[in-house]
Amino acid sequence: MREIPPEAMAAYRAGARRRAEQERQRVVAREQRAWALAHQVAERLRREFAINRVVVFGSLVHPGRFTAWSDVDIAV
Protein backbone atom coordinates (compact mmCIF):
# COMPACT_ATOMS: atom_id res chain seq x y z
CA MET A 1 0.00 0.00 0.00
CA ARG A 2 1.24 3.44 -0.93
CA GLU A 3 1.80 6.13 1.73
CA ILE A 4 0.06 9.47 1.45
CA PRO A 5 2.55 12.35 1.45
CA PRO A 6 2.27 14.64 4.50
CA GLU A 7 1.36 17.62 2.31
CA ALA A 8 -1.54 15.72 0.73
CA MET A 9 -2.75 14.54 4.14
CA ALA A 10 -2.56 18.09 5.50
CA ALA A 11 -4.61 19.37 2.56
CA TYR A 12 -7.16 16.59 3.08
CA ARG A 13 -7.46 17.36 6.80
CA ALA A 14 -7.85 21.09 6.13
CA GLY A 15 -10.61 20.38 3.61
CA ALA A 16 -12.35 17.99 6.00
CA ARG A 17 -12.23 20.59 8.79
CA ARG A 18 -13.59 23.25 6.43
CA ARG A 19 -16.47 21.02 5.31
CA ALA A 20 -17.29 20.05 8.90
CA GLU A 21 -17.39 23.72 9.93
CA GLN A 22 -19.63 24.60 6.98
CA GLU A 23 -22.01 21.80 7.92
CA ARG A 24 -22.02 22.94 11.56
CA GLN A 25 -22.90 26.47 10.44
CA ARG A 26 -25.75 25.12 8.26
CA VAL A 27 -27.17 23.17 11.19
CA VAL A 28 -26.93 26.21 13.49
CA ALA A 29 -28.76 28.33 10.91
CA ARG A 30 -31.43 25.64 10.48
CA GLU A 31 -31.85 25.40 14.25
CA GLN A 32 -32.35 29.17 14.45
CA ARG A 33 -34.97 28.99 11.67
CA ALA A 34 -36.68 26.11 13.49
CA TRP A 35 -36.97 28.19 16.67
CA ALA A 36 -38.35 31.11 14.68
CA LEU A 37 -40.91 28.78 13.09
CA ALA A 38 -41.86 27.34 16.48
CA HIS A 39 -42.47 30.86 17.82
CA GLN A 40 -44.56 31.76 14.76
CA VAL A 41 -46.65 28.61 15.07
CA ALA A 42 -47.16 29.14 18.81
CA GLU A 43 -48.30 32.72 18.25
CA ARG A 44 -50.68 31.67 15.49
CA LEU A 45 -52.14 28.90 17.65
CA ARG A 46 -52.67 31.38 20.48
CA ARG A 47 -54.21 33.98 18.20
CA GLU A 48 -56.44 31.77 16.04
CA PHE A 49 -57.37 28.99 18.44
CA ALA A 50 -57.00 30.61 21.89
CA ILE A 51 -54.42 28.02 22.91
CA ASN A 52 -52.95 28.90 26.32
CA ARG A 53 -49.88 26.70 26.31
CA VAL A 54 -47.63 25.56 23.48
CA VAL A 55 -44.65 23.32 24.26
CA VAL A 56 -41.66 22.59 22.05
CA PHE A 57 -39.98 19.25 22.72
CA GLY A 58 -37.57 16.84 21.08
CA SER A 59 -34.14 17.55 19.65
CA LEU A 60 -34.76 21.29 19.32
CA VAL A 61 -34.81 21.80 23.10
CA HIS A 62 -31.69 19.71 23.74
CA PRO A 63 -28.45 21.52 22.89
CA GLY A 64 -26.33 19.59 20.43
CA ARG A 65 -29.07 17.12 19.42
CA PHE A 66 -30.66 19.13 16.60
CA THR A 67 -29.38 17.90 13.23
CA ALA A 68 -29.92 18.59 9.55
CA TRP A 69 -32.66 15.91 9.63
CA SER A 70 -34.47 17.12 12.77
CA ASP A 71 -38.04 18.33 12.74
CA VAL A 72 -39.91 20.71 15.04
CA ASP A 73 -42.00 18.95 17.69
CA ILE A 74 -44.84 21.02 19.19
CA ALA A 75 -47.54 20.01 21.67
CA VAL A 76 -50.62 22.03 22.63
How high is the pLDDT of residue 1?
84
How high is the pLDDT of residue 76?
94
Model pTM score: 0.80
For 75, the 3-state DSSP assignment is: strand
Q: Is the pLDDT of residue 22 over 90?
A: yes
Q: Percent of the chain scored above 90 by pLDDT?
A: 95
Show the beta-strand stretches assigned E in 17-67: 55-57
